[in-house]
A and B are shown apart, each in its own frame.
Chain A
Amino acid sequence: MKGSRGSKLPFKRVAAVLAMAASCVGGSAHAGWFDYNDGKVFLTEGVSMADGAAGGGAVPWAVIAGNETRDGINGNVHFTYVSLPNYSALIPGAAIGFFDRFELSAAYAILPTGSTFDTVGLVNSVISGSSTSSTIGGVEPWNTTIKMQIYGAKVRVFGEAIYDSDNWIPQVAVGGFYKINQNKALLETLGANKSKDFEAYVAATKIFFPISTAIDITARYTAANEIGLTGFGGPNGDSRKVRFEGSLAYLLAKNIAIGGEYQQHGNNLGGHSVNLGTSSLTSVTNTLAALGLNGASTALTQQHESSWADIFAAYAPAKNLSFTMAMLDFGNITFTPNQIGFYLSVAASF
């Protein structure tokens, strides 16, 4: 018991401070530090986006995660599966919403890259002289898996997305993510500048009941390549820039929404070949040519990174359970073009 005190107390203190801060903002008194509440109306918490925050599928919205109103605390757990021709992604995550004002989220992205990096892996094998255990450049000979931790926080600043149907002021929130990509060596191979970085965003969300439509517009300040899965920055630019993203959702029924999303991406790595440790690719071209891999240098040139687009349908069979299905068009990702696939996400709140 004594041993666990040290670790538990700070968390409780932080939680209490957060709860107090949130209740000050909310302007009302609460009975305890944990005020469970599930008073939100159907689907008004949005769904869980890929980085773990409340939003659409890829875009963070100004809504706060969980089913709580300003009267309490709630949260969700969510799991997302993405299938693309050359990649898949598994993203479990969780988020807590405090008084419909403040949100904390965490997600873990696991991205098996299938055969994408097999060529790089084979080149590595050639260089290292091993057919099974090469990890030069952070690339396994077969199926390299990228892993990334994502921590997020969001605070609702002003506006009321749902009930202020008589003015144009949207609900506005500011938030940020801190992302830690664990494949530092692979990111160096791809030419990315950083494996860890933060992103900041401003989101504006509004529901228009007369046309049963919800709209979100978000500006994100980021240097991410493929949301950070292939690192941050690169030969074409290292600085964070403001990129735009947005969601449009048409409400078919009180528990069904369909719509589309767009997310602007940068192009920090496009046009560049891979860096293989100390050897540049050209220096091993002769070795590759001897193996009949004459085209390797062309095959290992990264494509112009595409912006993301999707169309989705979200269905909430119960107030605290939602399923989101989407068709994705992610275009070019690293060496591979035409990444069109699907997305399935389930979120449960409490």
Chain B
Amino acid sequence: MNPIQSFKPLALAAALCAAAIGAGCAGGDPVANRTEGKTPAIIGIPSDSVEKFGGQAGIDVWVDDLFYYILADNRINTIFTTHGHVQRQMALNKELENMVMGGPAHYSGASMSAAHAELGLTLTQFNAVVEDAYLACDAARTPYHVCNQLIAALAPFERVIVSR
């Protein structure tokens, strides 16, 4: 997004916001629901983020660490073990994380809203995964500022993963 476009009058921002909320409620948020391409984060995710993460191999290690922490997290682990297949979720996440940071991977899973529609997830549970994501960065010795590129890339999915 062009940074110059950011400084719009507040009224227009409010209208845009209302539109965004409307789209979110309809489950058709085109940005958060995309299945291809880099996340269009404001200010922008640096082009070397995948490389800083250690390429696909580094992302793979991070996802392994993430699921280690998720499965050890009694707040949320049963959601992951009772819905779907953990190995498949890990494989899809390895594609997704690469894609949203601007890497070449092709994400072969369902849209985020379709994948989470039936789960009735709360923001509290979503935040627990975010905490585990930072723990996975620590475990993989991924620097905090590099970790934040991935957080920026995944953050908009909150709108379609969490049930309103």
Q: Are A209 and B152 in contact (CB under 8 A)?
A: yes
With beta carbons under 8 angstroms apart, the residue of A100, A162, A168 that contacts B6 is A168
Contact with B along A199-237 (1 / 0, CB 8 A): 000000000111110000000000000000000000000
Q: Which residues of A contact B145 (CB under 8 A)?
A: 212
Closest CB-CB distance, A127 to chain B, in whole Å?
A: 54
Chain A nearest CB from B90 CB (Å) reads: 23
Please pick, from B44, B123, B128, B159, the residue contacting A164 in the complex, using a CB distance under 8 A.
Answer: B159
Residues of A with C-beta under 8 A to B55: none
A78 within 8 A of B: no
Q: Which residues of B contact A (CB under 8 A)?
A: 1, 5-6, 8, 13-14, 16-18, 20-21, 31-32, 39-46, 122-125, 127-128, 130-131, 134, 144-145, 148-149, 151-153, 155-156, 158-159, 163-164
| Between-chain CB contacts (< 8 Å), 27 pairs | A28-B164, A39-B122, A39-B123, A41-B130, A42-B131, A70-B123, A71-B122, A71-B123, A163-B158, A164-B20, A164-B155, A164-B156, A166-B42, A166-B156, A167-B1, A167-B16, A167-B20, A168-B6, A168-B13, A168-B42, A209-B149, A210-B41, A210-B43, A210-B149, A211-B43, A212-B145, A253-B144
User: Does A289 interact with chain B (Cβ within 8 Å)?
Assistant: no
Decide yes or no whether A66 CB sits under 8 A from chain B: no
Q: Which 4 A-B pairs have the closest CB atoms?
A: A39-B124, A209-B152, A163-B158, A168-B6
Report how far A252 CA is from B148 CA in the complex, Å. Answer: 11
- Report the bound CA distance from A37 to B75 in whole Å: 12
The CA-CA distance from A39 to B122 in the complex, in Å, is 10
With contact pairs A28-B164, A41-B130, A166-B41 given, residues A209 and B123 touching in the complex (Cβ less than 8 Å):
no
A212 to B155, CA, bound (A): 14
A292 at the interface (CB under 8 A from B): no
Bound form: Cα–Cα A106–B56 in Å: 51
Task: Tell me the count of chain A residues lying within 8 A, CB to CB, of chain B.
Answer: 32
Are B144 and A251 neighbours in the complex by a CB distance under 8 Å? Answer: yes
Known pairs A28-B163, A158-B14, A209-B148; list 19 more (Cβ under 8 Å). Answer: A28-B164, A37-B124, A39-B122, A39-B124, A40-B127, A163-B155, A163-B159, A164-B156, A165-B42, A166-B42, A166-B156, A167-B42, A168-B42, A209-B149, A210-B42, A210-B46, A210-B148, A251-B148, A254-B144
A10 at interface, CB cutoff 8 A: no
CB distance from A45 to the nearest CB of B (A): 12
Confirm or deny: A6 has a beta carbon within 8 angstroms of a beta carbon on chain B.
Answer: no
Residues of B within 8 A of A71 (CB): 122-124
- Given the complex of chains A and B, what is the CA–CA distance between A293 and B21 in angstroms? 68
Q: Which residue of chain A lies nearest to B16 when distances are taken between CB atoms in the complex?
A: A169
Assess whether A80 is interfacial by the CB under 8 Å rule.
no
Cβ–Cβ < 8 Å partners of A42 in chain B: 131, 134
A159 at the interface (CB under 8 A from B): yes
Q: Which residues of A have CB within 8 Å of B40? A: 166
| Contact (Cβ within 8 A) B123 A210 | no
Q: Is the CB of B124 within 8 A of A72?
A: yes
With A37-B124, A164-B159, A165-B41 in contact, is A209–B151 under 8 Å at CB? yes
- Contact A41 to B127, CB < 8 A, known contacts A71-B122, A168-B42: yes
A72 to B18, CA, bound (A): 24
Flag if A39 contacts B156 (CB, 8 Å): no
Q: Give A251 to B147 CA distance when docked, in angstroms.
A: 12
Least CB distance, B4 to chain A, in whole angstroms = 11
Say yes or no for A27: interface residue by CB 8 A criterion: yes
